Amino acid sequence: MLEILILAAGKGTRMRSDLPKVLHKLAGKPLLGHVVDTARALGATQTCVVYGFGGDAVPQALAGEPLTFVLQAEQQGTGHAVQQALPRLSDDSVTLVLYGDVPLTQVTTLQPLIAAALAGRLGLLTVNLNPPDGYGRIVREQGQVKRIVEHKDATPAERSIQEVNTGILAANTRQLRQWIGRLKNDNAQGEYYLTDIIAMAVEAGVMIETHHPAHAWEVLGVNSKAQLAELERIHQHEVAQGLLEAGVTLLDPARLDVRGTLRCGRDVAIDVNCVFEGSVSLGDGVQVGANCVLRNVTVAAGTKIDAFTLIDDAVVGEANKIGPFSRIRPGSTLARDVHVGNFVEIKNSQIDDGSKINHLSYVGDTTMGKNVNIGAGTITCNYDGANKHRTVIEDDVFVGSDTQLVAPVTVGKGATLGAGTTLTRDAPPGELTLSRAKQTTFSGWQRPVKTPKP
């Protein structure tokens, strides 16, 4: 049985922020959320978060997750933090200690530590650093780990050791409880050091089994905005490499941001500076132009999205042509072979096969049939100042340019609306409807002339 403890009580002074450090976002998700995801992937029976700074902000931010929250009111060290959570942990389990500000540790790096603890040893993640300044040093004798000495307590000889403690360890919970109970704070920082349990384990005859992470960045923590930005780039680089390996064409892997999950079919191509948020899925052959933002969107095969397009909470069907400069807002569904052009905004609308809205239009709260052509500058007037109303445009309708459809209103199948029409009543199917002042020519009319200044 595995239980995971995530230490997240630190204030993060160097972030210079009112937000608790672990709630700052990496790839659109709180740092702590990444660690919680890792805990879930490891299959922990319980994940316990020790929080402190920021009051209830941390439990509130992760309220939807199956977590146990433990308050560490005063931060008296990492050993003290673990102690706060121990009453919640079961003796028959092994405990893995992770950190809410170390977001990129991979599951495969942690599994051997858990295996060590399950086999009665203490699993410790260490890394070689040059310079090792600031970190706890791993003191070995004849190759065996004997203890950890914190930088501030270390002798010059100990400070020259380059193998350092990442802080991540796994141990039998019953033993952990005994050791933590014996911690003292008679050290340079007056803190209860979790690291002091290593010497106790050795004394109890428990072997310390060390592992290194597969990549050094897996154990990097966030203490400042500069480090947060650095980890964001590392994470995005990894995501981009994964997409390239899966066969996605990225015009520049350094200019892609995925804040969530991006699933791609075969032969997907993504131009520079695109941002994908939430859950995005791109079907086979989808092309995304430069500078697009897609948030919680499904795009079916063969669709081409041109530059500077924003799509939010929408479903885009096969073989569409969207953009450049299109905005598709929540609740919209585009069927097959739909065209949406520049400066077109679509909101909460269903657009059926083969319909085209190519220029300068607003289509909101609309149900549109098949093979409709919407002229430039068409507006569905969906809002009367108090309520929203729907517009229904049936199959094969042709809407002339600069038309307003004042909802609720229905345009019947095959109807034509003349350019410049302001439609306030339903238009019958198959007929031409227009509302327009009669064109008049005033022959001999003169433009006014400018009065000369006195």
List residues binding ligand UD1 (CB under 6 A): 7-10, 50, 72, 75-78, 80-81, 99-101, 135-136, 148, 150, 164-167, 193-195, 221
Q: Cβ distance 227 to 220 under 8 Å?
A: yes
Distance CA 286, CA 141 (A): 58
Distance CA 26, CA 48 (A): 21
Distance CA 393, CA 399 (A): 9
Task: State which residue, 227 or 298, has the beta carbon closest to ligand UD1.
Answer: 227
Q: How far is the CB of 49 from ligand UD1 (least distance, A)?
A: 10
Contacts of 185 (CB under 8 A, 6+ apart): 76, 77, 191, 192, 193
Backbone angles phi, psi at 215, to 5 degrees: -130, 140
Q: How far is the CB of 72 from ligand UD1 (least distance, A)?
A: 5
Q: How far is the CB of 227 from ligand UD1 (least distance, A)?
A: 12
Beta strands in 204-292 (DSSP E): 208-211, 249-250, 256-264, 269-270, 274-282, 287-288
Task: State which residue, 75 or 298, has the beta carbon closest to ligand UD1.
Answer: 75
Task: State which residue, 10 or 369, has the beta carbon closest to ligand UD1.
Answer: 10
Q: How far is the CB of 329 from ligand UD1 (least distance, A)?
A: 40
Active-site position among 212, 215, 237, 359:
359
Q: How far is the CB of 50 from ligand UD1 (least distance, A)?
A: 5
Task: State which residue, 190 or 454, has the beta carbon closest to ligand UD1.
Answer: 190
Name the residue among 131, 143, 142 with its Cα closest to residue 210. Answer: 143
Q: How far is the CB of 221 from ligand UD1 (least distance, A)?
A: 5
Question: HSE of 206 in the Cβ direction (CA atoms, 13 Å)?
Answer: 25
Task: State which residue, 100 or 283, has the beta carbon closest to ligand UD1.
Answer: 100
Q: How far is the CB of 70 from ligand UD1 (least distance, A)?
A: 10
Distances (CA, A) of 136 to 129, 153, 198: 11, 9, 12
Q: Annotated catalytic, 151?
A: no
Contacts of 1 (CB under 8 A, 6+ apart): 45, 90, 92, 93, 94
Q: How far is the CB of 109 from ligand UD1 (least distance, A)?
A: 15
Give me the helix-helix angle, 31-41 and 107-118, nearest 10°: 50
Distance CA 57, CA 30 (A): 12
Q: What is the DSSP string of 146-190?
A: EEEE-GGG--HHHHT--EEEEEEEEEEHHHHHHHHHT----STT-
User: What DSSP element (H or E) covers 51?
Assistant: strand 46-51
| Burial readout 403-433 (b: 16 or more C-beta within 10 A, e: otherwise) | bbbbbebbbbebbbbbebbebeeebeeeeeb
Cis-peptide into 428, omega within 30 deg: no
Q: Assign 235 to helix, strand or coil.
A: helix
Residue 386 CB neighbours (<10 A): 5
Catalytic residues: 359
